[in-house]
Amino acid sequence: MDHPDGSGLDRELANSARRSRLLDDQAPPDTVRVPTDGRPVPEIAAEVLAVTGWSAAPDGAR
């Protein structure tokens, strides 16, 4: 059932739980999952950059 204010929160939480189970069951063992709950966006972004090896700087910048 959706949240009383119409936000669909309950549906989104159920979908998130379903997707998490799918990842547990079907993702390759080397799949990286970055926890996001309660973390600031810059911290999450820094972890994603570190895990992927991507650079936060534009091409040619140092």
Contact 34, 44 (CB under 8 A): yes
Count the Cβ atoms, other than its own, within 10 Å of residue 38: 5
Give the closest residue to 31 by CA, choosing from 46, 52, 13. Answer: 52
Can you give the residue ranges of every domain in the chain?
9-52
Q: What angle do CA 48, 50, 52 make, to 5 degrees?
A: 65
Residue 4's pLDDT band (boundaries 50, 70, 90)? low
pTM (two decimals): 0.61
pLDDT for residue 47: 96
pLDDT digits (tens, 9 = 90+) for 19-61: 999 999 999 999 999 999 999 999 999 999 999 998 867 766 6
Contacts 24+ apart (CB under 8 A), 4-9: none
